């Protein structure tokens, strides 16, 4: 028999091996819990312990998505007219609730997607930081007073909300990224329909309930669950029906291009944060030990499942052997396992079986290209496990760390993102060659250069084509008040986070307030000022 907890979460009759409950999950539309219109569901499983089921969730239909969009549209006028400081106060309440529940949310996220507890703690903190930053931005949603070229006239500019925003994010950052998107969206006065990642529906359900508990009116954020090819596609297709005014997407470049095409033909705003093949350059003047630490974390933290993970490790030939000797020593000793049961692991499981299958195909590409494998042996099993692996390999979806060298620009693995724990290594002749190689992939998300030559640092940060650059720092890492996003195949120029994201969720409204009581036409009724001939003789000043 099921029962409802004080929090409103309904427990299912599933016996998990760790004793943890499985939750009956719902869509949240106009503040009400609902199942899919056809009753179909899917399960969320712990990728670090596949027998552990977290819950059952609606496999949302087109009707469900449209119902959520209608609810967001109906909630928009009231929310948009709510004073921005009041909207900011609700967002501040969210941040304080996240702080109170942080420990529980960290454990939930680690259990649902297999990331380490430490990384999940950092990510929940990022969501908190985003709320606290934008709480005060509600008091700074500034416009301008502009001087008119005509008398007795005032000109103003205002920021206005776009309307209904469709939010789609990947499961590798299931708490920080949706908050990057939805918090500035609702601060600007928009309403949202959020399609949760298929592999983290329970965390999304918990976060949405916290948002409502913070005082968010019904219909301002509506949560729908399902597959990207189902509910996600229905949300994008709604742009063709005039039901959505903005799509914000984080995910793969091919899907992002499809979303951009749909939005483009409907003149609907799109924010696209896509993939990367992020280069990290190591020069002879660098602190080699520091560079090794940065490359190691960039390549294998989160099991390489970040859009900002290290792709091409570009090493100057003069320090190549020294760097690789130290780097490989760390790689071969990498501690791997379920951080909920074992301390000190660098990374845990893959996000899901699908991510694991796609990663193995990426390794096949490296092999077919002729890259030389220095370390790695595919999926971890009890018969095929690195020395640093902890636990029972067959319980979850784990991968060895992989390193390939002798990679060059003629290989697909130089240019294509491989989402998982693998680093492709390239040798550079000099700084100019290293910078050219760093710019040679079609992506432009993150980048890094380790050097203690200030001229090289300057030339790198001015010459690299990327949205983000670290000098003597890893390719990874973001702060709530700094813009996040890429160029080229990594995005369409939109940015998450900081004050810059406000441009993505509002438009400028220019107001011309005529006080003279008559028609005055700009450029035509402006009194011309004639210049007079100068009487003074300045010839002697030359």
Give the model confidence (pLDDT) of 216-259 as tens digits.
999 999 999 999 999 999 999 999 999 999 999 999 999 999 99
What pLDDT score does 6 carry? 36
Note the pLDDT tens digit of each residue in 300-344. Answer: 999 999 999 999 999 999 999 999 999 999 999 999 999 999 999
Whole-number Cα distances in Å, 206 to 26, 122, 223, 317, 330: 11, 18, 11, 50, 37
Structure tokens at 535: 């009487």
Residues 220, 153 contacting (CB under 8 angstroms) = no
Percent of the chain with pLDDT over 70: 96
Phi-psi map region of 514: left, alpha, beta (phi>0 left; psi -120 to 50 alpha): beta
Q: Where in the chain is the domain with CATH 3.40.309.10?
A: 278-479
Note the pLDDT tens digit of each residue in 73-86. Answer: 999 999 999 999 99
* CATH homologous superfamily, domain 25-274+497-504: Aldehyde Dehydrogenase; Chain A, domain 1 (3.40.605.10)
Give me the half-sphere count of Cα atoms (radius 13 Å) on the Cβ side of residue 522: 9
Structure tokens at 261: 């095409």
Note the pLDDT tens digit of each residue in 155-197. Answer: 999 999 999 999 999 999 999 999 999 999 999 999 999 999 9
Give me the half-sphere count of Cα atoms (radius 13 Å) on the Cβ side of residue 84: 19
Sign of the Cα pseudo-torsion (361, 231, 30, 272, in order): positive
Q: How confident is the model at residue 2 (pLDDT cuts 50, 70, 90)?
A: very low
Whole-number Cα distances in Å, 197 to 203, 350, 388: 10, 15, 30
Q: Which of 107, 106, 135 is nearest to 122 (CA)?
A: 106
Q: What is the DSSP secondary structure assignment for residue 518, as one 8-state letter?
A: S
Percent of the chain with pLDDT over 90: 91
Q: What is the mean pLDDT of residues 64-68?
A: 98
Q: How confident is the model at residue 210 (pLDDT cuts 50, 70, 90)?
A: very high
* CA–CA distance, 134 with 84 (Å, rounded to integer): 11
pLDDT exceeds cutoff 90 at 534:
no
Query: Is 307 a catalytic site residue?
Result: yes
* CA–CA distance, 88 with 186 (Å, rounded to integer): 9
Q: Which of 165, 263, 307, 449 is catalytic?
A: 307
pLDDT exceeds cutoff 80 at 104:
yes
pLDDT exceeds cutoff 70 at 535:
no
pLDDT exceeds cutoff 60 at 7:
no
What pLDDT score does 479 carry? 86
Q: Which of 403, 181, 228 is nearest to 304 (CA)?
A: 403
Note the pLDDT tens digit of each residue in 416-452. Answer: 999 999 999 999 999 999 999 999 999 999 999 999 9
Q: What is the mean pLDDT of residues 349-368?
A: 97
* CA–CA distance, 50 with 73 (Å, rounded to integer): 39
What pLDDT score does 59 carry? 98
CATH number of 278-479: 3.40.309.10, 3.40.190.10, 3.40.50.2300, 1.10.1040.10? 3.40.309.10
Q: How confident is the model at residue 9 (pLDDT cuts 50, 70, 90)?
A: low
Q: Where in the chain is the domain with CATH 3.40.605.10?
A: 25-274+497-504
Residues 87, 502 contacting (CB under 8 angstroms) = no
């Amino acid at each position: 028999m099921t029962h409802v907890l004080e929090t409103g979460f309904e427990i299912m009759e599933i016996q998990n091996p760790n004793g943890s409950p499985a939750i009956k999950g719902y869509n949240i539309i106009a503040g009400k819990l609902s199942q899919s219109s056809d009753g179909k569901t899917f399960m969320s499983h712990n990728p670090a312990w596949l027998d552990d089921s977290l819950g059952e969730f609606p496999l949302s239909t087109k009707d469900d998505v449209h119902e959520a969009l209608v609810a967001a549209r109906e909630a928009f006028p009231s929310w948009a007219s709510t004073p921005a400081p009041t909207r900011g106060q609700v967002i501040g309440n969210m941040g304080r609730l996240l702080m109170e529940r942080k420990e529980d949310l960290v454990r939930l996220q680690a259990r649902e997607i297999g990331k380490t507890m430490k990384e999940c703690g950092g990510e929940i903190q990022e969501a908190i930081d985003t709320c606290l930053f934008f709480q005060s931005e509600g008091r700074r949603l500034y416009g301008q007073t502009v001087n008119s070229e005509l008398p007795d006239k005032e000109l103003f500019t205002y920021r206005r909300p776009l309307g209904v925003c469709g939010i789609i994010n990947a499961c590798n950052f299931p708490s920080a990224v949706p908050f990057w998107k939805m918090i500035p969206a609702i601060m600007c006065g928009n309403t949202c329909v959020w399609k949760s990642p298929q592999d983290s529906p329970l965390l999304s359900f918990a976060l949405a309930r916290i948002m409502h508990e913070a005082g968010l009116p019904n219909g301002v954020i509506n949560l729908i669950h399902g597959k990207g090819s189902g509910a996600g596609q229905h949300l994008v297709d709604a742009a063709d029906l005039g039901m959505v005014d903005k799509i914000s997407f984080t995910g793969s470049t091919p899907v992002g291009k499809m979303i951009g095409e749909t939005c483009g033909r409907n003149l609907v705003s799109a924010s696209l944060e896509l993939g990367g093949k992020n280069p990290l350059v190591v020069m002879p003047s660098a602190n080699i030990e520091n560079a090794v630490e940065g490359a190691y974390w960039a390549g294998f933290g989160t099991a390489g499942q970040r859009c900002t993970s290290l792709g091409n490790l570009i090493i100057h030939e003069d320090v190549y052997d020294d760097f690789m000797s130290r780097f490989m020593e760390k790689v071969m000793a990498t501690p791997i396992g379920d951080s909920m049961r074992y301390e000190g692991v660098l990374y845990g499981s893959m996000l899901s079986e699908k991510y694991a299958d796609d990663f193995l195909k990426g390794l096949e590409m490296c092999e077919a290209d002729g890259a030389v494998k220095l370390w790695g042996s595919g999926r971890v099993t009890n018969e095929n496990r690195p020395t640093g692996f902890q636990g029972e390999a067959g319980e979850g979806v784990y991968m060895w760390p992989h390193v390939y060298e002798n990679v060059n620009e003629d290989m697909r693995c130089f240019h294509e993102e491989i989402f998982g724990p693998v680093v492709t290594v390239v040798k550079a002749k000099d700084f100019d060659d290293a910078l050219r190689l760093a710019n040679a992939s079609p992506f432009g998300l993150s980048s890094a250069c380790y050097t203690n030559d200030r001229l090289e640092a300057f030339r790198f940060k001015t010459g690299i084509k990327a949205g983000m650059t670290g000098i003597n720092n890893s390719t990874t890492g973001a702060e709530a008040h700094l813009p996040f996003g890429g160029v080229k195949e990594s995005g369409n120029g939109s940015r998450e986070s900081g004050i810059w994201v406000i441009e993505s969720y509002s438009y400028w409204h220019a107001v011309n307030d005529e006080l003279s009581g008559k028609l005055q036409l700009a450029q035509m009724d402006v009194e011309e000022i004639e210049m007079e001939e100068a009487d003074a003789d300045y010839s002697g000043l030359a």
